[in-house]
């Protein structure tokens, strides 16, 4: 199997390159965003706006939500040991991933159904990320055609769940390539469907089933009903799962149609090797939680990995990605190591980088932001996190995020 391509994960080296990663100027804030000062401030606003079925899909974790809680708690187990008087007036956050320049070392994770809580949500997320020069990954469980998102936001990454046979893998990857995506992210931690317990309690299913409860929850959230759902229906028709496979999938609302959940529990590393042979650009494996699997990913031809427990949405009682990140990064030579799950603060970003990540991703917060205020909300979320990273770099005594290492981090006292 061909070794991973040596894509760079570097600091921009010259003035022109650094200028390319400068963030755009902030725009005047809508009134609703003037009460948002950190990423967590978006969540209650989104909860108030959304029907409980849709809020449940974004907010809930698996089973007892132990893993979801651990994802946040893990960051509290680390503390900084900052340097002083280092001269930090030349701070910059620009990085290079897979030979693409970005303005900050964080990006937007794939989250399915984004167009259900924000009008044209997948385009909103991808376009805003492109404008503000951070990576964004479009979900394979999205409701807007991948071709439309790629046209609106060139450079967006695409996340796919491999189908169960080689023919359908080839068809899906051919469509993704033809749409214009350059970086492919394969999520590999979903061999079976997750426990639907919390979704069922809140009335969520895929597709959504018409019911009196669903109708009431829609009517009782008029801003969402008029601004997102009815606006989508009148302009684009009933949303479908557009990108789950090469062909169009099920509608999001149906009393009888079932979504394509063809068995994937037989998938193995040989299927990843099939994808590697077919895909010519950077290939990233998302869902790695063991150093042994990181090595298998490298052997299968991956160029990068995302250390992730799927935001605590899959296997409950799993470790936090931050807990396993150091040992994975230490043994993942030749791979671009990234991480998601639990990122909420600039300090979280820098702790993950200190432990071996080259970039981190957040899904929930950016989707809450899109719910609250569309592109302006996502832009504000990026601005908040970018400002925190900049401030924290200065307080740590570093001029670039990649300057942080284990000497600036210690296990926190109990």
- Please tell me whether 344 is known to bind a ligand: yes
- Please tell me whether 139 is known to bind a ligand: yes
- Please tell me whether 57 is known to bind a ligand: yes
- Please tell me whether 342 is known to bind a ligand: yes
Looking up tokens 């600036």, which residue turns up?
408
- Please tell me whether 187 is known to bind a ligand: yes
Residues annotated as catalytic are: 310
- Please tell me whether 334 is known to bind a ligand: no
- Please tell me whether 111 is known to bind a ligand: yes
- Please tell me whether 110 is known to bind a ligand: yes
- Please tell me whether 364 is known to bind a ligand: yes
- Please tell me whether 252 is known to bind a ligand: no
- Please tell me whether 155 is known to bind a ligand: no
Binding residues for glyoxylate: 57, 161, 310, 313
Binding residues: 57, 110-112, 139, 159, 161, 187, 286, 308, 310, 313, 340-344, 363-364
Binding residues for FMN: 110-112, 139, 159, 187, 286, 308, 340-344, 363-364
């Amino acid at each position: 199997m061909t070794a991973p391509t040596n894509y760079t994960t570097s600091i921009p080296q010259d003035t022109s390159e650094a200028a390319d990663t400068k963030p755009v100027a902030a725009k005047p804030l809508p009134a609703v965003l003037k009460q948002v000062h950190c990423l967590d401030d978006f969540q209650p606003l989104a909860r108030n706006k959304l029907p409980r079925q849709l809020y449940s899909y974004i907010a809930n974790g698996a089973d007892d939500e132990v893993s979801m809680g651990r994802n946040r708690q893990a960051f509290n187990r680390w503390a900084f040991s900052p340097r002083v008087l280092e001269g930090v007036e030349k701070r910059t956050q620009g990085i290079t991933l897979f030979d693409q320049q970005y303005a900050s070392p964080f990006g937007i994770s794939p989250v399915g159904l984004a167009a259900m809580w924000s009008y044209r949500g997948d385009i909103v997320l991808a376009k805003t990320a492109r404008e503000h020069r951070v990576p964004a990954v479009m979900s394979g469980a999205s409701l807007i055609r991948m071709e439309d998102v790629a046209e609106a936001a060139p450079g967006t990454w695409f996340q796919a769940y491999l189908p169960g046979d080689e023919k359908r893998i080839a068809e899906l990857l051919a469509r993704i390539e033809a749409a214009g995506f350059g970086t492919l992210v394969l999520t590999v931690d979903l061999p079976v469907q997750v426990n639907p317990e919390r979704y069922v309690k809140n009335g969520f299913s895929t597709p959504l089933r018409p019911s009196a409860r669903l109708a009431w929850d829609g009517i009782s959230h008029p801003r969402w009903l008029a601004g997102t759902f009815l606006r989508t229906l009148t302009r684009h028709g009933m949303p479908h799962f557009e990108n789950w496979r090469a062909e169009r999938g099920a509608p999001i609302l149906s009393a009888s149609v079932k979504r394509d959940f063809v068995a994937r529990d037989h998938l193995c590393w040989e299927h990843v090797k099939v994808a590697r042979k077919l895909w010519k650009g950077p290939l990233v494996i998302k869902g790695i939680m063991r150093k042994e699997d990181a090595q298998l990913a490298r052997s299968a031809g991956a160029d990068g990995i995302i250390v992730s427990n799927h935001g605590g949405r899959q296997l409950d009682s799993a470790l936090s990605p931050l807990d396993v990140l150091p040992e994975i990064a230490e043994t993942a030579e030749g791979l671009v190591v990234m991480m998601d799950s639990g990122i909420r603060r600039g300090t979280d970003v820098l702790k993950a980088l200190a432990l071996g990540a080259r970039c981190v991703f957040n899904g929930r917060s950016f989707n809450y932001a899109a719910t609250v205020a569309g592109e302006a909300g996502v832009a504000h979320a990026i601005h908040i996190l970018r400002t925190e990273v900049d401030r924290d770099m200065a307080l740590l005594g570093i001029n670039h995020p990649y300057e942080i290492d284990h000497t600036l981090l210690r296990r926190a006292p109990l």
